[in-house]
Structure 1
């Protein structure tokens, strides 16, 4: 599974400065020292403690986008995944000089610790009167690296660092003293834990494309944000319901001598942070939040706040991380109170990087989640029309459904070029829904009209979207046509009745779509089949052949409707890509008659 190695940029060398300039355009509070790659509040309040952070770029929005009133005062940026040098950092300390002192917060990576630490010591040597007004904090929250493996180096710094920024920045903004800010920072840094997981490594702009990576079905738990190897690889990738408990085991274990970093009890109040490492969709991230909440609830943890979004990335890495901040209890006599920490998290900063949060404890699921209820079938007033061969009728439907399921990868491939990539999955979902109803006995050759209505409902509910609506309208029209053609209860449906009903269903469909053959849509083979079958209802094979020919012909037709209308027509012709929806109709009919 290769990493994405294409990027939008002017040059790799200009990328960091271009990005910082863009950030300053977004946030008028900021100024940019281009020589030293420092973003800072240009009119910072000298009566308040200043907070500095920094490190290699490539983790956006961290670090620079957290600079702003209420969080950070400045960020010193290096090249992608490379620490800034001590000279840059020392200049950054000068830029935010103030009357109260400065706290420097860095992630636990060797380059950051050495260069920021060196800058602090150089600054103290140059300004001995201010030596005690610059504090240094290292955040190491990664639990994937065990104590033996980490040895004296310690844990890597990950997204938990962002919670340290936020809490420290809010306290400084309220007017906290240097010692107060430093003490809170130290406590939070010592009680936060993070674990990440990814589908693939990431690619650094300007470097050669990686030649190896994770397998198609493989994930890596504990991968670092600079492409460092993780704790272990897992294949096949488990569902979230299995993966999340494994991650929480690593985060909260107090029995594992290698990873018992935070003294969780199992009944703790916690702040949960779900962080996008850069390359997963909001849709997937929401699923991660839901599953993590379920798993925490099952273990007895109380999530007092839940934060979700993109906080600290590894460029476009397709993965996420989970961070837990243990909130103090009354037994933590030297700790800040939980109410203070939560209120500091809740303060609203003026910076684009901090994501919206509810500033409230999540409600019990029972107050928000309405469980799915099994809906009773509506009382369908249908005429009990029978198929000429009820058993063969059901078997043919099964063949059509299984044919669609088997064709899903090829139809998906076609639609990834000609459309939005979901046609194969949509048809597969409908086919699986039909097979389930057959298994339940809801689709039956002894009551064809009712069965057709069921298929229309499945198309609407299981497929959804444009295809689902088209199929549902067509099958609803087919049910109406069958009843109109034969009013005698218990009658057997003849081929002629099928032909008339199919023709009326197509007419119904044309009421709601302007697509007409040749249009490079599913109506091309559908119209061809129905026209041929209407003329000769005894020759299903001939009608199926007409549909197949019409589907094949879409390879050379310029799209007039549907998603393909937005794709450059010559490309589809050159690559001989048929319309995916038309191919689905062809598959249904050929499988039905197989």
Structure 2
């Protein structure tokens, strides 16, 4: 099948900003920060909870198209299929800052979780009095990713997140507290199931014309919205009345141990909100046929549709395909949950959100053959009250660790060429070089341990970037928060132990990697866990954990996508884990 590879644009790099300017020109209640590519409500009611979302562009109308009264307050837009940076997200949080609270909603993709999470943690570090009023919701609704495959990373976020936007946004508009909005958003997220299907992958503007992915009479079930390969392929393309029941079974089954994510009863009492989503390249004629067939299949199964929505909500550029999302409503006798009536009323509430499609706001009738810019809050300066027991020793240790990473770059790069995408060594070298410069400029010093940790966190974000930079920056940002709570004026081993343990716990809220996972978390957790027994013991534990990744099957990180047989045959350590080993060994010299 031929993929559309021609596009109307000025240049590929300018396309995202040009599109956002067009969106705001059409919808005059929206404002745009062009530098950070943040779309936000021009006239925000700051007495109410704000909702922030975002992610890579190419999914329009998500994410920017869901900014409006009764939905999102702001959206942050990255490049096509690429997460926005934490700096962009920080700007968005400041633009919608308020005294009531902010809910950040992201799809379950590593880049989004890390960069939005990093921005949240940095905001909390700068505004500890508001830290509890910024909540984080991660939505993963893809049932194509089974429990075994997604045991660490979890389900991907698809079109179901749009229902979370609308329901949580309407509740916030009604004046609910930040905790009330957060609880409902979490509940709705837990009741979502989505499955996508496509006739081919999409084409990213500015890239080479791809080889043909699928045959002329072949489709793919469970493909991702970033051109990720799917769960299975079928040839020849079956008629809808054969395809749709297969797709619905993946959402509603309670016997498939890999995909029974949503607690359907399948006894005739289930009630759902149905969303049929155009992935970008499907004609309205075909989409209407899909809706009709899904409706017939659900009627036959006894599942009652309480609301039906259809259209382009979460696209994948020009992908010729669709996805089906079902939100399972609570039963009448369920306790401790929001009521079905409340959820439906929030979906039905009026909104001026451009991406929210028209719906009848009622139960579908039986089928028949005939019928008649605000200013950002300034950060408070940190007090330089926490000092190292030996300032010169602290500074020397930091310098040693940086020089060791720079020296180890070729070996780490070699490892990552086998186990990843080849950039880990250069990423760590870039961060180490920037830390050395800050040390020489006295921006990092044992005279101000807390300020030094904050500086390292920012360097990790700016000089490293990507997944590694976000992981390190989140960890050091969390470490700074923990150190700030210490009543001691000296950064003793006990102070470090307590703070490092807290930072590891916080880091683990943004990554599902747990030892043993063949990631940097392995030696990091080993080091922190053994530190109470002394630095020497902690270094040994970290080294053993890093060495152990050579014979370990990857459960998270980029190595999870590399053939495990090849990794074991090469006996190459995880490059991120090796970087941690290099750092702690240099610190202890």
With normalisation by structure 1, the TM-score equals 0.62
- Contact 1:55–1:83 (8 Å) recurs in 2: yes
* 1:306 alignment partner, one of 287, 305, 308: 308
1:296 to 295, 298, 302: 298
Is the partner of 1:238 in helix, strand or coil? coil
SS of equivalent residue, structure 1 residue 148 = coil
Q: Which moved more, 1:327-336 or 1:94-103?
A: 327-336
Q: Does 1:55 align with 2:37?
A: no
Q: 1:212, CA displacement in angstroms?
A: 2.8
CA displacement, residues 37-75 of structure 1 (integer Å, 9 cap, x when unaligned):
100012200001000000000000000011011100000
Map of 1:226 onto structure 2? 226
Matched residue, 2:348: 346
Per the alignment, residue 35 of structure 2 pairs with 35
Shift of 1:330: 2.8
The 1-side partners of 2:334 and 2:197 are apart by 31
Match of 1:331 in 2: 333
CA distance in 2, matches of 1:166, 1:369: 33
Q: Distance in 2 between matches of 1:253 and 1:118?
A: 36
The correspondence of residues 538-549 of structure 1 with structure 2, limited to 5 A, is none
Look up the match of 1:169.
169
In 1: Cα distance, 2:277 partner to 2:342 partner: 23
Tell me which stretches of 4 or more aligned residues in structure 1 moved more than 2 Å.
368-371
Q: Counterpart of 1:206? A: 206
- In the TM superposition, what whole-angstrom CA distance separates every residue of 1:289-334 from its partner, at most 9, and x where no partner exists? 0000000011100000010111010001000000000000133211
SS in 1 for 2:75: strand
Does the CA contact (< 8 Å) of 1:225 and 1:313 recur in 2? yes
Residues in 1 aligned to 2:288 and 2:311: alpha-carbon distance in whole angstroms: 9
Which residue in the other structure is 1:16 paired with? Answer: 16
Which whole-Å deviations, capped at 9, do the CAs of 1:475-496 have from their partners, x for residues lacking one? Answer: xxxxxxxxxxxxxxxxxxxxxx
Q: Distance in 1 between matches of 2:142 and 2:226?
A: 13
**Could you say which residue in structure 2 is the equivalent of 1:285?**
287
The answer to whether the 8 A contact 1:270-1:301 is kept is yes
Partner of 2:194: 194
Kept after mapping to 2: 8 A contact 1:194/1:321: yes
Distance 2:80 2:67 in 1: 19
Deviation, structure 1 residue 130:
0.6
Tell which has more relative contact order, 1 or 2 (C-alpha 8 A, sep 6+).
Answer: 2
Alpha-carbon contact 1:2-1:210 (below 8 Å) kept: no
SS at match of 1:169: helix
Q: 1:269 aligns with which of 246, 252, 271?
A: 271
**Mapping of residues 90-101 of structure 1, within 5 Å:** 90-101=90-101
1:451-501 Cα distance to aligned partner (Å, 9 max, x none): xxxxxxxxxxxxxxxxxxxxxxxxxxxxxxxxxxxxxxxxxxxxxxxxxxx
Q: Which has the larger radius of gyration?
A: 1
Kept after mapping to 2: 8 A contact 1:296/1:302: yes
Show structure 2 runs of 5+ residues with no match.
372-589
1: CA distance, partners of 2:285 / 2:339: 35
Task: State the alpha-carbon separation in 1 of the partners of residues 348 and 148 from structure 2.
Answer: 37
8 Å Cα contact 1:141-1:157 kept in structure 2? yes
Residue 106 (structure 2) pairs with residue 110 (structure 1):
no
Q: Helix, strand or coil: the match of 1:111? A: helix
Aligned length: 369
Tell me how far apart the structure 1 counterparts of residues 208 and 193 of structure 2 sit (CA, whole Å): 33
Within 2, Cα distance between the matches of 1:146 and 1:312? 21
Q: State the distance in 1 between where 2:85 and 2:330 align.
A: 37
Q: Which residue of 1 aligns with 2:236?
A: 236
5+ residue gaps, structure 1 = 372-594
SS in 1 for 2:149: helix
Q: TM-score, normalised by structure 2?
A: 0.62
Distance 2:161 2:230 in 1: 19
Partners of 2:62 and 2:79 lie apart in 1 by 13
Write the distance in 2 (CA, Å) between the matches of 1:156 and 1:217. Answer: 27
**Contact residue 2 and residue 213 of structure 1 kept, 8 A:** no
Determine the C-alpha separation between the residues in 1 that align with 2:333 and 2:218. Answer: 43
Q: Which residue in the other structure is 1:446 paired with?
A: none
Counterparts of 1:169 and 1:227, CA distance in 2: 29
Native 8 Å contact 1:32 1:40 kept in 2: yes
Supply the distance in 1 between the matched residues of 2:291 and 2:41 (Cα, whole angstroms). Answer: 33
Match of 1:86 in 2: 86
Query: Which one of the candidate residues 319, 322, 326 is aligned to 1:320?
Result: 322
Residue aligned with 2:148, SS: helix
Displacement of 1:152 after TM fit?
1.0
CA distance in 2, matches of 1:348, 1:42: 18
**Alpha-carbon contact 1:346-1:359 (below 8 Å) kept:** yes
Q: Name the SS of the counterpart of 2:237 in structure 1.
A: coil
| 1:180 to 2:180 alignment | yes
By how many angstroms is 1:13 displaced? Answer: 0.2
Measured in 2, the distance between the counterparts of 1:68 and 1:26 equals: 13
* Alpha-carbon displacement from aligned partner over 1:369-412 (angstroms, at most 9, x marks no partner): 339xxxxxxxxxxxxxxxxxxxxxxxxxxxxxxxxxxxxxxxxx
* 3-state SS in 2 of match to 1:248: helix
Write the mapping of 1:550-565 to structure 2, written as runs, cut at 5 A: none
Pairwise CA distance, 1:273? 0.3
- 3-state DSSP of counterpart to 1:83: coil
Computed over aligned residues only, the root mean square deviation of the Cα atoms, in angstroms, reads 0.9
Aligned partners of 1:66 and 1:354 also within 8 Å: yes
Q: Distance in 1 between matches of 2:217 and 2:284?
A: 21
Residue of structure 2 in register with 1:256 after alignment: 256
